[in-house]
Amino acid sequence: MQQSPLLVTAPTMADDFAASGFKVRADLGQHFLRSPESARRLLERAQIPNGGQVLEVGAGLGTLSATIVAAGCRIWAVEKDHRLQRQLEQRLGEFGDRARITIDDVRHVDLDQGLEPGSTLVSILPFAPELAVALVRHVFGSPRLERGLVVMPILGAEQLAVDGTAGLRVEEVDGIARADFYPPAPTVLRVVAIERTRPCSK
Protein backbone atom coordinates (compact mmCIF):
# COMPACT_ATOMS: atom_id res chain seq x y z
CA MET A 1 0.00 0.00 0.00
CA GLN A 2 1.29 3.45 -0.90
CA GLN A 3 2.18 5.60 2.10
CA SER A 4 0.19 8.79 2.56
CA PRO A 5 2.21 11.90 1.66
CA LEU A 6 1.35 13.28 5.11
CA LEU A 7 3.27 10.44 6.72
CA VAL A 8 6.39 10.86 4.63
CA THR A 9 9.15 12.77 6.40
CA ALA A 10 11.02 14.87 3.87
CA PRO A 11 14.78 15.16 4.34
CA THR A 12 15.64 18.33 6.24
CA MET A 13 18.60 20.62 5.80
CA ALA A 14 20.25 18.97 8.79
CA ASP A 15 19.78 15.59 7.11
CA ASP A 16 21.41 16.96 3.96
CA PHE A 17 24.37 18.20 5.96
CA ALA A 18 24.66 14.80 7.64
CA ALA A 19 24.59 13.05 4.27
CA SER A 20 27.31 15.38 2.98
CA GLY A 21 29.66 14.25 5.75
CA PHE A 22 29.68 17.61 7.54
CA LYS A 23 31.58 17.20 10.81
CA VAL A 24 29.93 18.84 13.79
CA ARG A 25 32.17 20.45 16.39
CA ALA A 26 31.93 18.66 19.72
CA ASP A 27 33.82 21.52 21.41
CA LEU A 28 30.88 23.81 20.58
CA GLY A 29 28.26 21.33 21.77
CA GLN A 30 27.02 21.53 18.18
CA HIS A 31 23.77 19.86 17.08
CA PHE A 32 21.43 21.00 14.31
CA LEU A 33 17.66 21.15 14.54
CA ARG A 34 16.00 18.71 12.13
CA SER A 35 12.36 19.47 12.91
CA PRO A 36 10.63 22.58 11.45
CA GLU A 37 7.63 21.68 13.61
CA SER A 38 9.77 21.94 16.75
CA ALA A 39 10.98 25.35 15.55
CA ARG A 40 7.37 26.51 15.21
CA ARG A 41 6.52 25.20 18.66
CA LEU A 42 9.46 27.06 20.20
CA LEU A 43 8.34 30.24 18.48
CA GLU A 44 4.84 29.87 19.93
CA ARG A 45 6.26 29.25 23.40
CA ALA A 46 8.50 32.31 23.22
CA GLN A 47 5.56 34.74 22.94
CA ILE A 48 7.61 37.42 21.21
CA PRO A 49 5.90 40.82 20.88
CA ASN A 50 4.83 41.73 17.35
CA GLY A 51 7.85 42.98 15.45
CA GLY A 52 10.06 42.34 18.47
CA GLN A 53 13.80 41.80 18.29
CA VAL A 54 15.20 38.34 19.00
CA LEU A 55 18.76 37.35 19.82
CA GLU A 56 19.67 33.82 18.79
CA VAL A 57 22.91 32.36 20.09
CA GLY A 58 24.17 29.44 18.03
CA ALA A 59 22.09 29.95 14.89
CA GLY A 60 23.49 26.84 13.21
CA LEU A 61 21.80 26.15 9.88
CA GLY A 62 19.18 28.84 10.41
CA THR A 63 16.15 26.58 10.88
CA LEU A 64 14.96 28.40 14.01
CA SER A 65 16.19 31.77 12.72
CA ALA A 66 14.13 31.55 9.54
CA THR A 67 11.03 30.46 11.47
CA ILE A 68 11.32 33.46 13.79
CA VAL A 69 11.88 36.10 11.12
CA ALA A 70 9.23 34.64 8.78
CA ALA A 71 6.71 35.19 11.58
CA GLY A 72 7.36 38.94 11.48
CA CYS A 73 10.04 39.31 14.15
CA ARG A 74 13.53 40.67 13.68
CA ILE A 75 16.43 38.30 14.32
CA TRP A 76 20.04 38.83 15.31
CA ALA A 77 21.60 35.44 14.59
CA VAL A 78 24.99 34.94 16.23
CA GLU A 79 26.99 31.86 15.21
CA LYS A 80 30.54 31.02 16.19
CA ASP A 81 31.28 28.44 13.48
CA HIS A 82 32.52 30.36 10.42
CA ARG A 83 31.80 27.31 8.22
CA LEU A 84 28.08 28.12 8.52
CA GLN A 85 28.26 31.76 7.43
CA ARG A 86 27.35 31.11 3.80
CA GLN A 87 24.49 28.82 4.79
CA LEU A 88 23.03 31.44 7.11
CA GLU A 89 23.40 34.19 4.52
CA GLN A 90 21.55 32.09 1.97
CA ARG A 91 18.83 31.08 4.43
CA LEU A 92 18.18 34.55 5.84
CA GLY A 93 19.10 36.78 2.91
CA GLU A 94 15.53 37.01 1.62
CA PHE A 95 14.47 38.78 4.81
CA GLY A 96 16.67 41.81 4.22
CA ASP A 97 17.38 44.09 7.16
CA ARG A 98 15.03 42.12 9.44
CA ALA A 99 17.77 39.48 9.73
CA ARG A 100 21.24 40.33 11.01
CA ILE A 101 24.04 37.75 11.06
CA THR A 102 27.19 37.91 13.17
CA ILE A 103 29.86 35.21 12.92
CA ASP A 104 31.65 35.34 16.24
CA ASP A 105 31.61 34.03 19.79
CA VAL A 106 28.72 35.90 21.41
CA ARG A 107 30.97 36.58 24.40
CA HIS A 108 33.08 38.81 22.11
CA VAL A 109 30.08 40.76 20.77
CA ASP A 110 28.89 44.11 22.17
CA LEU A 111 25.25 43.19 22.70
CA ASP A 112 24.33 46.61 24.08
CA GLN A 113 25.21 48.15 20.71
CA GLY A 114 22.96 45.80 18.77
CA LEU A 115 19.99 45.00 20.99
CA GLU A 116 16.98 47.16 21.70
CA PRO A 117 15.47 47.40 25.21
CA GLY A 118 13.01 44.58 25.81
CA SER A 119 14.65 42.11 23.43
CA THR A 120 14.13 38.35 23.75
CA LEU A 121 16.65 35.50 23.68
CA VAL A 122 15.43 32.47 21.71
CA SER A 123 18.13 29.86 21.25
CA ILE A 124 19.04 26.22 21.03
CA LEU A 125 22.10 26.38 23.24
CA PRO A 126 25.13 24.09 23.07
CA PHE A 127 24.44 20.62 24.43
CA ALA A 128 27.29 21.00 26.91
CA PRO A 129 25.62 21.98 30.21
CA GLU A 130 28.37 24.19 31.60
CA LEU A 131 28.76 26.10 28.34
CA ALA A 132 24.99 26.57 27.99
CA VAL A 133 24.74 28.03 31.50
CA ALA A 134 27.74 30.30 30.93
CA LEU A 135 26.19 31.69 27.74
CA VAL A 136 22.85 32.43 29.42
CA ARG A 137 24.60 34.26 32.24
CA HIS A 138 26.69 36.22 29.77
CA VAL A 139 23.94 37.42 27.45
CA PHE A 140 21.70 38.42 30.34
CA GLY A 141 24.53 40.67 31.42
CA SER A 142 23.03 43.01 28.83
CA PRO A 143 20.20 45.03 30.39
CA ARG A 144 18.48 45.09 27.00
CA LEU A 145 17.45 41.45 27.28
CA GLU A 146 14.28 40.99 29.33
CA ARG A 147 13.27 37.39 28.74
CA GLY A 148 14.22 34.24 26.90
CA LEU A 149 13.27 30.77 25.76
CA VAL A 150 16.07 28.27 25.30
CA VAL A 151 16.66 24.60 24.66
CA MET A 152 19.40 23.26 26.92
CA PRO A 153 20.51 20.02 28.60
CA ILE A 154 18.52 19.14 31.71
CA LEU A 155 21.63 19.38 33.91
CA GLY A 156 22.23 22.93 32.73
CA ALA A 157 18.58 23.85 33.28
CA GLU A 158 18.70 22.55 36.83
CA GLN A 159 21.95 24.40 37.54
CA LEU A 160 20.54 27.67 36.20
CA ALA A 161 17.31 27.28 38.18
CA VAL A 162 19.10 27.12 41.53
CA ASP A 163 21.51 29.95 40.78
CA GLY A 164 20.21 32.88 42.81
CA THR A 165 23.00 35.25 41.80
CA ALA A 166 21.96 35.88 38.20
CA GLY A 167 18.67 37.65 38.94
CA LEU A 168 16.74 35.36 36.63
CA ARG A 169 13.58 33.32 37.03
CA VAL A 170 14.00 29.99 35.27
CA GLU A 171 11.15 27.59 34.55
CA GLU A 172 11.10 24.36 32.56
CA VAL A 173 8.08 24.66 30.25
CA ASP A 174 8.49 21.80 27.79
CA GLY A 175 10.65 19.00 26.55
CA ILE A 176 12.02 18.28 23.09
CA ALA A 177 13.04 14.98 21.52
CA ARG A 178 16.69 14.08 21.21
CA ALA A 179 15.98 12.76 17.72
CA ASP A 180 14.92 16.25 16.59
CA PHE A 181 18.62 17.02 16.19
CA TYR A 182 21.58 15.92 14.09
CA PRO A 183 23.44 14.31 15.63
CA PRO A 184 20.86 13.13 18.18
CA ALA A 185 21.22 14.87 21.53
CA PRO A 186 23.38 12.86 23.95
CA THR A 187 21.33 13.87 26.98
CA VAL A 188 17.80 14.79 28.03
CA LEU A 189 16.82 18.30 26.91
CA ARG A 190 14.47 20.86 28.35
CA VAL A 191 12.78 23.96 26.96
CA VAL A 192 13.37 26.67 29.54
CA ALA A 193 11.67 30.05 29.96
CA ILE A 194 13.84 32.79 31.46
CA GLU A 195 12.69 36.12 32.87
CA ARG A 196 14.69 38.88 34.50
CA THR A 197 13.64 39.42 38.13
CA ARG A 198 15.75 42.43 38.96
CA PRO A 199 17.47 45.17 36.97
CA CYS A 200 20.83 44.36 35.51
CA SER A 201 23.61 45.97 37.54
CA LYS A 202 25.60 46.78 34.40
DSSP 119-158: EEEEEE--SSHHHHHHHHHHHTTSTTEEEEEEEEEHHHHH
Tell me the three state secondary structure of residue 95.
helix
User: What's the confidence (pLDDT) of residue 76?
Assistant: 98
Please give the single-letter amino acid code of residue 86.
R
Residue range 15-40: average pLDDT?
86
User: What's the confidence (pLDDT) of residue 2?
Assistant: 35
pLDDT digit string, tens, across residues 98-119: 999 999 999 999 999 999 999 9
User: What's the confidence (pLDDT) of residue 9?
Assistant: 39
CA nearest 124: which of 169, 164, 67, 167?
A: 67
Cross-strand pairs, 124: 151
Q: Which of 19-28, 91-100, 113-122 bottoms out in mean pLDDT, i.e. has the lowest?
A: 19-28
Cα separation, 67 vs 78, whole angstroms: 15
* pLDDT beyond 60 at 50: yes
pLDDT digit string, tens, across residues 138-170: 999 999 999 999 999 999 999 998 887 678 999
Cross-strand pairs, 192: 150, 172
pTM of the shown model: 0.90
Percent of the chain with pLDDT over 90: 77
- What is the band of 125 on the pLDDT scale with cuts at 50, 70, 90? very high
Cα separation, 194 vs 124, whole angstroms: 13
User: What's the confidence (pLDDT) of residue 191?
Assistant: 97
- What is the band of 5 on the pLDDT scale with cuts at 50, 70, 90? very low
* pLDDT beyond 60 at 10: no
Cα separation, 96 vs 10, whole angstroms: 28
